[in-house]
Amino acid sequence: AGLSMSLYAHTYLPLPLIAALGTKEQKEKYLIPALKGDKIAALGVTEPGAGSDVAGIKTTAVDKGDHYEINGSKMFITNGNIADFVVIAAKTGEGFNMSMIIVDTDTEGFSSIKIDNKLGMHSSDTAQLFFEKCVIPKTNLIGQEGHGFYYQMNNFQEERLLAAITGTFVAEWSLEKAKKYCMEREAFGRPIGKFQVVRHKLAQMAIKVETCRSISFRAVAEFIEQGNKAETIITMAKAYTGEEAIKVINDSLQLHGGVGYTEDYGIARAWRDARLLSIGGGTTEIMHEILGKVVLDQVEHSDKMSKETAKA
């Protein structure tokens, strides 16, 4: 899971912004080499004091004429130590005025520290980034200055959709592992899969998996048809699969008994890695808050929805 997360963080987080909004020069310098695998990319939004609260970031990009001076820090950045460039969100004014800017990691004043004391995703590079008087040319600005908040809110939809798909896959895998083990492991003279309590547990897991699959597939279909206007169903899919996939994996580990607690069957690793599903890309609590605004306040996808999301 860690390796796939690093690939996903390279391909689906920073690169779509450059592909959609970047200049010809930016695409030639960053996008094409990244797609070829010649350069590694990262997205830097999360900070020590700002995760789901994107509007709360403190990193600043001060206009100095022909360049920006960037100061601040980023936290839990996937590929942060190995990236050749990072697309960061930085304040260029008050309130929602922030911009997306490309920072080369060989820029003077840039540094990173590896975060390796994680519960899971051990094969995925994670870092804290520091920017101290980094001089970045204005040609590295993606899109329009001050529009970065809205760009990132839209970018979140694809990230959350991929998280839902990932959760569904992990839940499916965990169910299959449990089914196979329960028909091989014998106790009291027969496979444990023949005991009613185990069969009922597997049935409940199967229901969760099928529900995850259904809501994720619907979210994909609506995203293909409507793009970012499918925000509501994508948010539902992210919230639901993030929680239910963890439950399925936990049940799978339980059914494996003692061996599930070891590294021999892969369930322990999946259990650790999957815990991120309800945190990364926006916590389940934030997803529920967004949905509360849709259900109760009837706030639909729009610039207003993006601003309301920031207040969650």
Q: What is the pTM of this model?
A: 0.89
> Which pLDDT tens digit goes with each residue over 124-139?
999 999 999 999 999 9
User: What's the CA gap between 207 and 192, in Å, rounded?
Assistant: 20
Output helix, strand, coil percentages for the chain, rounded to the nearest 5. Answer: 55, 20, 25
User: What's the CA gap between 165 and 172, in Å, rounded?
Assistant: 11
CB-based contact 73:47 (threshold 8 Å): yes
Rounded to the nearest angstrom, the gap between the alpha carbon of residue 86 and the centroid of all alpha carbons in its chain is 16
User: What's the CA gap between 106 and 82, in Å, rounded?
Assistant: 11
Q: What is the dihedral of CA 217, 54, 30, 101, to 10 degrees?
A: 150
Q: 296: burial class by Cβ within 10 Å (0-12, 13-18, 19+)?
A: exposed
Q: Is 143 left (phi over 0), alpha (psi -120 to 50) or beta?
A: left
User: What's the CA gap between 162 and 78, in Å, rounded?
Assistant: 15
pLDDT above 70 covers a percentage of the chain that reads 96
CB-based contact 133:38 (threshold 8 Å): no
Q: Return residue ranges of the chain for CATH 1.20.140.10.
A: 153-310
Name the residue with tokens 């970065």.
Answer: 148
Q: Name the β-bridge partners of 101.
A: 88, 141
User: What's the CA gap between 176 and 184, in Å, rounded?
Assistant: 13
Classify each residue of 18-33 as buried b or exposed e, where b means 16 or more C-beta atoms within 10 Å of its C-beta: beebbeeebbebbbeb
Output the pLDDT for position 301.
Answer: 56
User: What's the CA gap between 141 and 165, in Å, rounded?
Assistant: 31
CB-based contact 161:220 (threshold 8 Å): yes
> Which pLDDT tens digit goes with each residue over 130-167?
999 999 999 999 999 999 999 998 888 999 999 999 99
User: What's the CA gap between 167 and 156, in Å, rounded?
Assistant: 16
Q: Return residue ranges of the chain for CATH 2.40.110.10.
A: 2-146
CB-based contact 91:60 (threshold 8 Å): yes
Sign of CA dihedral 149, 151, 152, 153: positive
Q: What are phi and psi of 107, to 5 degrees?
A: -70, 135
Q: Where are the alpha helices (DSSP H) in 105-264?
A: 148-184, 196-226, 231-256
Both tokens assigned to 15: 């690169």
Q: Name the β-bridge partners of 111.
A: 130
Question: Can you give the pLDDT of all 312 residues of the chain as single tens digits?
Answer: 688 889 989 998 999 999 999 999 999 999 999 999 999 999 999 999 988 788 899 999 999 999 999 999 999 999 999 999 999 999 999 888 999 999 999 999 999 999 999 999 999 999 999 999 999 999 999 999 999 999 998 888 999 999 999 999 999 999 999 999 999 999 999 999 999 999 999 999 999 999 999 999 999 999 999 998 999 999 999 999 999 999 999 999 999 999 999 999 999 999 999 999 999 999 999 999 999 998 888 776 544 545 544 444
Both tokens assigned to 115: 């975060």
| CATH H-level, domain 2-146: superfamily | Butyryl-CoA Dehydrogenase, subunit A, domain 2 (2.40.110.10)
DSSP single-letter state for residue 29: I
Output the pLDDT for position 222.
Answer: 97
User: What's the CA gap between 199 and 255, in Å, rounded?
Assistant: 10
User: What's the CA gap between 300 and 232, in Å, rounded?
Assistant: 8
Structural domain 153-310, CATH architecture: Up-down Bundle (1.20)
CB-based contact 79:14 (threshold 8 Å): no
Q: What are phi and psi of 105, to 5 degrees?
A: -75, -5
Q: Which residues are catalytic?
A: 159
Output the pLDDT for position 310.
Answer: 47
